[in-house]
A and B are shown apart, each in its own frame.
Chain A
Amino acid sequence: MRAKLWRWAVSAWIVLPAACTLADVTVVDVDDVVIAEIYVEVNRGPGLDNRVTAFLHRTVGGVGPGFSEVPGARVVITRPDGFSAELVEAALEECVETTPIGGTGTCYLLPPAEGNLLGPGDELQARVSLPGGGVLMGASEVPGDFVLDDLPDGGYCTHPPATPLELRWSQARGAWAYVNETSIRGLAAHFADAALEDGVDDPLYLLGLSISAADTTIVFPGEFGLFNRFELDRIVSLELQEGLPARTAADVSISATDRNYVNWVRGGSFNPSGQVRVPSLVGDGVGVFGTVVVRRFAVAVEPGPGDPGAGTSSCIP
């Protein structure tokens, strides 16, 4: 909490040294706009089906239950070779892991049998026909396939503690960026005796980026957590620069993403009311039609430094 106060104080001092809140607060009307978030995730790893989901919701501020839901829409994915498949309505949990309080929407899912017909390099179109009329459309080229160097896709590796792991992979044709994620377990126990101000999440989610198709390296875990550096305890940050601590484990994913995904997540111009996203679905609403190719592996740090076997690294598929 103290850290947050400092951040606010410093930010306020830098940005608005003498500003003050306007006395007049005006109730405003909200435009009802449909937001469509369609993601195509292919080559997810051994034994995993492709995922094609569409999450439709609305601008917030409407009155009444179910306002944000968009049931009865038709979401169709097509390919120039004649492939056409319609997503079916599914449980919200199929699309969404967490929502704001009271947040909701409608989930659409492509059956795996049809979704598995999609692959890297496909040129896809998406069309969303809204139940009350109105259409959103967009297009994407799925990034090309790629492989991790010296690491098994979907496999498992052991790694020495406090040792950075440099990840390398082949280029995915047409990718605009690689989104690199990790979920690290065991940090709470490792830092149990450390004087952390705000503790540490367990598992700890960190996000790293490699921008452009040609940027195919990242150091794990030091170069992950770009957007967590303002929040993460400094002791944790510094130790992760050296590698994973002993007796911790992590899941890692490297995702080649298309133009639409990148534009949606990186945001556009400045607006004080919120983040501005560059959409890839346009028409009677806004949204994203993003496509990704994902590679995953797991890594465990066992045993600790000084223990027998420390300092070796090995992987199994």
Chain B
Amino acid sequence: MPPLKAIAAALCLAASLAQPVQAQVGAVEGRIRDDEGSAVFRASVDLIADSVVVRVAESDRLGFFRIEGIPYGAYKLRARGLGYEGLEQDIVLAAAEPVEVELLLVRRAIELEGVSVEADRSRERIRFEEVGGATVRELDLVDLKAVPGIAEADPIRAVAVLPGVVSTSDFSAAFHVRGGSQDQNLILLDGVPVFSPFHLGGFFSVFNADMIDRTALQSGGFGAEHGGRVSSVLEIESDAGDGDLQVDAGISLLATRVAMGGRLPSSVAGALGQANVHWRVSGRRSYFDVLMKPLFDFPYSLTDLQGVLEGWTRGGDRLRLTGYTGNDVLDLTSLDASDFPLRILWEWGNDAAGVRWTRPRRGGGALDVRAHYSGFASGLAFPDFGDTDFRTAVDQLQLRVDLATRPRPGMNMKVGASAESLGYDNYFATGGTEFARGLGEGRLLGAYGQTTWSRARSWLVEAGLRLDSWSPDAGTAVHSLSPRLALKRFFAGGDGAVKLAAGRYTQFVQSLRDEELPIGLDIWVLAGETAPHVVSDQLQVGIEGYPRPDLFLALEGFVRTFDGVITVNPAEDPNDEFDDILPGEGLSYGADLMIRRENGAVNGWLSLSLLKAERTFPDLLSPAQPRRQITYAPIFDRRLDVDLVLRYPLPMGWEGGLRWNVGTGVPYTRSRGSYAYYSPRFVDGGGRLEWAGADEGDDAFGGYAVVLEDRNGSRYPTYHRLDISVRRTLQKSWGTMTPYVDFLNVYNRKNVLFYFYQYEKTPPVRSGISMFPLVPTFGIEVHF
């Protein structure tokens, strides 16, 4: 069935299902705000009948909540939020029209235990009940800090513990979702797309966990509102704080960091047209270069600055500003020339800024207007050689409007449009010649509409349509229609559901980074004359639910195609400016299982991912023209990946965290043999061959090339690693202090990073290097 017809049929089905709801049951909805007018996010709303909690809900970013499908009768509505006095209100449902309430919570100094857990539980549950197609897995700050990390909590590295996510190396925070490439993940900081959000070539993410409220990964089935990437959407939300003056600081083996927040004076807020304005800013910097300065010049440093400002008007409008800038510097210019003869200055980093104005609508929904800028740039310079210019840059400017409405009970609608301008500039020249050049711009106009019909705890239907119109400055314009459809059928009284989601996804910007290198920088290119755009068709089916109130279980199968993926052409013709990039295809299929226990002293989750991924490209090593196509398993084709994450109490108030990861080996290309590599020397060798290496004693340096087997025809051994963390929060008169220790790879498993085949040795041997050995890291965090 063509996609549009399928959507139309689904809409009719949904409409017929939704109709009877109005006649049989009622609903309650409203907003929860504090005494300053700010929306209370994640307030827990309980609907109580005869002292029994019959339904729960949670307020969204704008303080809105809704509970539907409630039989007529008298109820008590209880609202609770962290840092607020609880509030109860009686309501009577006697008509199909929703009962509207406006709840004002009063701030309170002491927090009640249990509210947070309850809120977490309800949030997970609400997502299960309200989200039809998207596979959303969320990590909040507590989760992020419980997952043992390298040096400090990392919002992106932590994503690797979720089902469907593959990380190929300990050295890279980059991740692959359900057979997609790492550049196919849309990473949003407060809705602002961020390119290549990594320090040290991918070793750490750029996000300071202290600034993060939550990280949510949509690993598939995401709605029509999201465009621009085909594989996943990772939403990272900053925490604007509650307005109280607070400081979070920490020191780890990586960096020192501080985050502080507060509120603008009323007069300033008023001058800005706001009732109150909260803000939080953070700075993070590595310190080895400063610490080692008396001894030697440590050449690397990283710096992050991040900020968020959130203002609320008396009428409940929200204004939110987000900013990030980060920079990595590898500075080898000040080293003694006798120590290091080549002076190098290499810098790279991101800049991102966004402004967002949101006006809530009565009855739910909102009008959202956004403007974003995001850019990533890297430059490598040899100050002694003015002929060298290595640089890469990409930037994006976006204007976007979204309107969400709830026209009637059981029905949500959202429409939106965006206009984007993208540009990239890649240039590699030295020694008076240009090795590579890529320069281009494009404009992307996007529009979408999506609607959801639901009968509470019975059916949920989502349908959407997205139109993207891409106009590169050179090349053919692309108009892409991307339908999305999701069905969810609840059973077991609404505690279980089967679901199906299908859709088409498109992407117009891609990275040329060699994913087989454990770390590296992205080199972004836009679709146009030299590179295609990606079209991915995806289907997923699953079953999920709550066999017990505190136990969530989800099993999903998926299949995806990727048309238009790219790789660098190593045999490009320097006389042809259009053959630098080779287009290819991809296919992936598999299944993900997640079992999550959300409450109790010991909680956490088990995720299991099955994957088979393929890429088809022209044979890079074939001299024939045109080259034959070869299909191979990409490096992220980890067939089985299991993650166990636990959080548990330890004696004397310590908290423990554990992550055990096991994955089958990823593919690599084995060397069948090596040979001495020669180069003709014309200037003084008369055209005779010179061996390109150098003998030093019994060892040879360089000078050998390899004969390879079929691409990625072998696999490394099974990967497994156990990480643990312990932390304890100590109450002090001035605040809290939390020392922590993380142990990565507790049993020192030698997971293989690379094999080296050294055929020039006698006898020929295979050696290699491993990923992380046992690495203890520690740090301390303070809060006041």
Fill in one digit per residue for B672-700: 1 if any A CB lies within 8 Å of its CB, else 0.
11111111111111111111010100001
**Which residues of chain A have C-beta atoms less than 8 A from B681's C-beta?**
97, 181, 205
Whether the pair B571, A268 counts as a contact (CB closer than 8 A) is yes
- B380 CB to closest chain A CB, in angstroms? 13
Known contacts A17-B203, A222-B387, A263-B571; A275/B704 CB under 8 A:
yes
In the bound complex, what is the Cα–Cα distance between A233 and B762 (angstroms)? Answer: 34
For window 293-328 of B, CB contacts with A under 8 Å fall at: 299-300
In the bound complex, what is the Cα–Cα distance between A81 and B382 (angstroms)? Answer: 50
Whether the pair B691, A99 counts as a contact (CB closer than 8 A) is yes
Tell me whether A315 is interfacial, beta carbon within 8 Å.
Answer: no
Whether the pair B623, A260 counts as a contact (CB closer than 8 A) is yes
Whether the pair B766, A18 counts as a contact (CB closer than 8 A) is no
Whether the pair B382, A273 counts as a contact (CB closer than 8 A) is no
Partner of B171, one of A6, A17, A225, A286: A17
Count of A interface residues, CB-CB < 8 Å: 116
Whether the pair B671, A278 counts as a contact (CB closer than 8 A) is no
Whether the pair A274, B706 counts as a contact (CB closer than 8 A) is yes
Whether the pair A226, B431 counts as a contact (CB closer than 8 A) is yes
Tell me whether A149 is interfacial, beta carbon within 8 Å.
Answer: no
Partner of B764, one of A30, A214, A223: A30
Tell me whether A203 is interfacial, beta carbon within 8 Å.
Answer: yes
Known contacts A16-B171, A215-B433; A269/B516 CB under 8 A:
yes
Partner of B752, one of A22, A29, A238: A22
- With CB as the reference atom, state the residue of chain B lying closest to A104: B676
For window 403-459 of B, CB contacts with A under 8 Å fall at: 430-435
Indicate the member of B386, B750, B764 with the most A CB atoms within 10 Å.
Answer: B764
In the bound complex, what is the Cα–Cα distance between A101 and B620 (angstroms)? Answer: 32
**Which residues of chain B have C-beta atoms less than 8 A from A214's C-beta?**
575
- With CB as the reference atom, state the residue of chain B lying closest to A218: B432
Known contacts A6-B335, A27-B763; A22/B171 CB under 8 A:
no
In the bound complex, what is the Cα–Cα distance between A25 and B764 (angstroms)? Answer: 10
Tell me whether B90 is interfacial, beta carbon within 8 Å.
Answer: no
- A39 CB to closest chain B CB, in angstroms? 5
Whether the pair A197, B687 counts as a contact (CB closer than 8 A) is no
Q: Which stretch in A57-65, A71-79, A127-135 binds the other chain?
A: A57-65
Partner of B574, one of A58, A262, A268: A262
For window 27-62 of A, CB contacts with B under 8 Å fall at: 27-33, 35, 37, 39, 41, 44, 51, 53, 55, 57-61
**Which residues of chain A have C-beta atoms less than 8 A from B770's C-beta?**
19-22
Known contacts A241-B384, A271-B708, A276-B621; A51/B671 CB under 8 A:
no
Whether the pair B683, A234 counts as a contact (CB closer than 8 A) is no
Whether the pair B683, A205 counts as a contact (CB closer than 8 A) is yes
**Which residues of chain A have C-beta atoms less than 8 A from B754's C-beta?**
272
In the bound complex, what is the Cα–Cα distance between A61 and B706 (angstroms)? Answer: 12
- A208 CB to closest chain B CB, in angstroms? 5
**Which residues of chain A have C-beta atoms less than 8 A from B332's C-beta?**
10
Whether the pair B338, A14 counts as a contact (CB closer than 8 A) is no
Majority DSSP secondary structure for residues of A touching B: mixed
Whether the pair A138, B341 counts as a contact (CB closer than 8 A) is no
Known contacts A39-B680, A223-B432; A3/B341 CB under 8 A:
yes
**Which residues of chain A have C-beta atoms less than 8 A from B690's C-beta?**
96-98
**Which residues of chain B have C-beta atoms less than 8 A from A267's C-beta?**
570, 705
**Which residues of chain A have C-beta atoms less than 8 A from B767's C-beta?**
21-22, 25-26
Q: Which stretch in B17-25, B44-52, B594-602, B771-779 binds the other chain?
A: B771-779
Whether the pair A282, B769 counts as a contact (CB closer than 8 A) is no
**Which residues of chain B have C-beta atoms less than 8 A from A3's C-beta?**
338-341
- A154 CB to closest chain B CB, in angstroms? 13
Whether the pair A6, B340 counts as a contact (CB closer than 8 A) is yes
Tell me whether B142 is interfacial, beta carbon within 8 Å.
Answer: no
Whether the pair B675, A269 counts as a contact (CB closer than 8 A) is no
Whether the pair A22, B678 counts as a contact (CB closer than 8 A) is no
- B518 CB to closest chain A CB, in angstroms? 8
Known contacts A59-B675, A97-B688, A271-B706; A251/B683 CB under 8 A:
yes
- B560 CB to closest chain A CB, in angstroms? 24
Known contacts A61-B673, A276-B621; A237/B384 CB under 8 A:
yes
In the bound complex, what is the Cα–Cα distance between A274 and B679 (angstroms)? Answer: 16
Whether the pair B171, A210 counts as a contact (CB closer than 8 A) is no
Known contacts A223-B387, A234-B337, A272-B755; A23/B683 CB under 8 A:
no
Whether the pair B673, A59 counts as a contact (CB closer than 8 A) is yes
Indicate the member of B203, B574, B700 with the most A CB atoms within 10 Å.
Answer: B574
Whether the pair B684, A274 counts as a contact (CB closer than 8 A) is no
Tell me whether A190 is interfacial, beta carbon within 8 Å.
Answer: no
Tell me whether A279 is interfacial, beta carbon within 8 Å.
Answer: yes
Whether the pair B683, A272 counts as a contact (CB closer than 8 A) is no
**Which residues of chain A have C-beta atoms less than 8 A from B683's C-beta?**
181-183, 205, 251-253, 296
**Which residues of chain B have C-beta atoms less than 8 A from A31's C-beta?**
672-673, 707
Fill in one digit per residue for B738-780: 1 if any A CB lies within 8 Å of its CB, else 0.
0000000000001011111111111111111111110100000
Known contacts A96-B688, A234-B337; A33/B769 CB under 8 A:
no
**Which residues of chain B have C-beta atoms less than 8 A from A229's C-beta?**
341-342, 382, 385
- A59 CB to closest chain B CB, in angstroms? 3
In the bound complex, what is the Cα–Cα distance between A58 and B337 (angstroms)? Answer: 41
Partner of A59, one of B435, B674, B687, B691: B674
Partner of A274, one of B575, B620, B691, B705: B705
Tell me whether A248 is interfacial, beta carbon within 8 Å.
Answer: no
In the bound complex, what is the Cα–Cα distance between A263 and B619 (angstroms)? Answer: 14
Tell me whether A231 is interfacial, beta carbon within 8 Å.
Answer: yes
Tell me whether B517 is interfacial, beta carbon within 8 Å.
Answer: yes
For window 210-256 of A, CB contacts with B under 8 Å fall at: 210-215, 217-219, 222-226, 229-235, 237-238, 241, 251-253, 255
Known contacts A274-B705, A296-B683; A32/B673 CB under 8 A:
yes
- A149 CB to closest chain B CB, in angstroms? 15
Indicate the member of A3, A55, A265 with the most B CB atoms within 10 Å.
Answer: A3
Fill in one digit per residue for B556-585: 1 if any A CB lies within 8 Å of its CB, else 0.
000000000000001101110000000000
Cβ contacts A to B, 10 pairs, < 8 Å: A2-B338, A3-B340, A17-B203, A30-B673, A93-B688, A213-B575, A233-B337, A233-B341, A260-B623, A277-B677
Give 20 new A-B contacts, CB below 8 A, not counting A28-B766, A215-B433, A276-B705: A10-B299, A37-B678, A55-B678, A58-B675, A59-B759, A60-B676, A61-B762, A100-B693, A214-B575, A234-B342, A266-B570, A271-B706, A273-B674, A274-B704, A275-B677, A281-B623, A282-B622, A290-B680, A294-B682, A296-B683
A-B pairs with lowest CB-CB distance, top 3: A59-B673, A223-B432, A181-B683
